[in-house]
Chain A
Amino acid sequence: QVHLQQSGPGLVKPSQTLSLTCAISGDSVSSNNAVWSWIRQSPSRGLEWLGRTYYRSKWYNDYAASVKSRITINPDTSKNQFSLQLNSVTPEDTAVYFCARWGAGWAFDFWGQGNLVIVSS
């Protein structure tokens, strides 16, 4: 059974960087059959896919246009986890952030528990 455990601060100041980590158990971040994503949820924007990282003989990343200039998703093979960095945050980035695995059925089959991140001074 795959388990995703998220960690990171719940409060970030405007203009600073939001950083979250998703630790994977039961699968590998380097798996050739999985894709690892970050998704956020807010009352104003609903569920919003932010980006993904995956390994297919080399590492690939894709990001949503809405955050492309500010986002980095990195795998960490030594710790079997992946991370989200979102730069220059504003209050509009306040949301619950989820990590999730996109599995063989091309659907998000396992999710982290979610982190509420509030952007406020």
Chain B
Amino acid sequence: DIVMTQTPLSSPVTLGQPASISCRSSQSLVHSDGNTYLSWLQQRPGQPPRLLIYKISNRFSGVPDRFSGSGAGTDFTLKISRVEAEDVGVYYCMQTAQLPLTFGGGTKVEIK
């Protein structure tokens, strides 16, 4: 199984300041079709996860442009350019390149 490792576990951020979350996979997420299937999810308290980013850097419909994804191979990053109060929650990376699908352990974004 592909292990997804996220850092940090927690990220206290001042409103309006940037935040960055790292995700590392134990194997390359490049699929045989040439695409890299790494996505980012946001989970607010009491809510199901919500898709933010797919295939490393593509924002899902309705996701604000302050969210961006980057990376390649086994190392990926989610950045929030200016954190807003509604961004509080837990962020997960996940891979859909290979079965079984696996998730990172999560990074909690909170306001200082």
Residues of A within 8 A of B (CB): 37, 46-49, 62, 64-65, 98, 100, 102, 105-109, 111-114
Contact = CB atoms under 8 A, between A and B. Distances in A.
19 contacts: A37-B101, A46-B106, A47-B49, A47-B94, A47-B103, A49-B103, A62-B99, A65-B100, A100-B48, A105-B60, A106-B39, A106-B54, A106-B55, A107-B37, A107-B54, A108-B39, A108-B41, A109-B60, A114-B48
A111 B55 contact: no
A49 B50 contact: no
Interface residues of B, number: 22
B63 to A, nearest CB: 11
Q: Interface majority SS on B: helix, strand, loop or mixed?
A: loop
Contacts of B105: 46
A49 B100 contact: yes
The 4 A-B residue pairs whose C-beta atoms are closest, nearest first, are A107-B54, A107-B39, A105-B54, A111-B48
Contact of B51 (A48, A62, A65, A107): A107
Given A108-B96, A109-B51, 14 more contacts: A47-B94, A47-B106, A49-B102, A49-B103, A62-B99, A102-B96, A107-B37, A107-B54, A108-B39, A108-B51, A109-B54, A109-B60, A111-B49, A114-B48
A51 to B, nearest CB: 9
Chain A interface secondary structure, helix, strand, loop or mixed?
strand
Contacts of B51: 107-109
B58 A108 contact: no
Contacts of B39: 105-108
B92 interface: yes
Contacts of A98: 48-49
B100 A64 contact: yes
B14 interface: no
Contact of A107 (B48, B55, B100): B55
Most buried by B among A37, A109, A112: A109
B50 A111 contact: yes
Interface string B6-37: 00000000000000000000000000000101
Contacts of A111: 48-50
